[in-house]
Amino acid sequence: MRQRITSGSTVWMAGVQDALSALLVEQSDFDGMFTTGFGIAASLLGQPDVELYTLTENLGVVNRIANIVSKPIFADADTGYGNVINVGRTVREFEKAGVAAISLEDQLSPKRCPAAATTMPIISAKDMAAKIRAAVDARHDPDFLIVARTDCLDSSEALDRAALYAESGADLIQPISRTFKNYEELVKLKEVSGRRLSLQLMQGLWMSKLSREQIESVAAFATYPIVTLMSTVHALQGNLNALAARRSGDVDGLPNGQASMSEFKALIGWQAIEDMQAHYEA
């Protein structure tokens, strides 16, 4: 992954919130996957992304994903789950899980997802810089990437923070759509920080309107963080409503198509399990 961000090519990723969505991304043409805290909160707890889940719960999901995929994993580490000491442990735990990169954000814990929250209190730039230094010092593998996200809504201050975070050792800078308004400001962010960016591309936000050329000119990471989550919700709502209205034994012709049993078995590696069992029981 570090070679990719230094060579100039962009790593395109899709968000995942559980092992099944990770398998789907693994079998797609994406370069890697992002374990979205927004999606994990919804999938694991059925609740909003306000840091209700713990480091241990987040790692549990990430470990299950890492056990079944080979593509690089970029993990959402939220605020680092505490102070500089906690951040050090957070880095070591994610590194042991086998992920290639984590993102740390400068919100006050418990954080609130900027895509949904009205307000997002942030810590001082000095305190966040200390967290980044602690994260860099805690990693054992120098290729493990630290992505620093600033949720500061003032663009001028966000530029200053990005420069400080880069100086503190962050490998990439991640902006939010609410702070910067156009491509030219992203170019400036890249220039001021001296780091390539990590962009989150979501429906309804202006960054999703950028061209591929624009994205690849500034971003090392380009991620669709919640597309698997929102697609799943939309498909299930449509099919459940249709079945509830129908109330018969007919499960064909639903608004959203279904995978066949053979397709699903291929996805989850059913035949490989049967072959393994037959091998040892022969």
DSSP letters along the chain, please? -HHHHHHT--EEEEEESSHHHHHHHHTSS-SEEEE-HHHHIIIIISS-SSS-S-HHHHHHHHHHHHTT--S-EEEE-TT-SSSHHHHHHHHHHHHHHT-SEEEEE-BPSSP--TTT-S---B--HHHHHHHHHHHHHH-SSTT-EEEEE---S-HHHHHHHHHHHHHTT-SEEE--TTT--SHHHHHHHHHHHTS-EEEE--TTSGGGGS-HHHHHHHEEEEEETTHHHHHHHHHHHHHHHHHHHH-SS---S-SS----HHHHHHHTTHHHHHHHHHHHH-
CB neighbours of 271 closer than 8 A, spacing ≥ 6?
A: 265
The pLDDT, as a whole number, for residue 230 is: 97
Task: Output the six-digit token pair for 82.
Answer: 């505490």
Q: Exposed, middle or buried: residue 259 (CB in 10 Å: 0-12, 13-18, 19+)?
A: exposed
Q: How far apart are CA 240 and CA 128, in angstroms?
A: 45
Contact at 8 Å (CB) between 165 and 142? Answer: no
CATH number for the segment(s) 2-226: 3.20.20.60
Is residue 216 within 8 Å of 194, Cβ to Cβ?
no
Alpha-carbon span 175 to 153, nearest angstrom: 10
Catalytic residue among 75, 97, 113, 166: 113
**According to the model, what pLDDT value does residue 169 have?**
98
In a structure prediction context, what are the per-residue pLDDT tens digits for the chain, which is 282 residues long?
Answer: 898 888 889 999 999 999 999 999 999 999 999 999 999 999 999 999 888 999 999 999 999 999 999 999 999 999 999 999 999 999 999 999 999 999 999 999 888 777 777 778 999 999 999 999 999 999 999 999 999 999 999 999 999 999 999 999 999 999 999 999 999 999 999 999 999 999 999 999 999 999 999 999 999 999 999 999 999 999 999 999 999 999 999 999 999 999 999 999 999 999 999 999 999 998
Q: Which residue has 């079944």 as its token pair?
A: 68
d(CA 27, CA 71): 10
Residue 222: what pLDDT? 98
Active site residue 152: no
pLDDT value at position 137? 98
- Assigned token pair, 94: 């994610």
| pLDDT of res. 142 | 95
Residues in the chain: 282
Tokens linked to 187: 């170019």
Q: What are phi and psi of 34, to 5 degrees?
A: -115, 120
Q: Where are the domains of the chain?
A: 2-226, 232-281
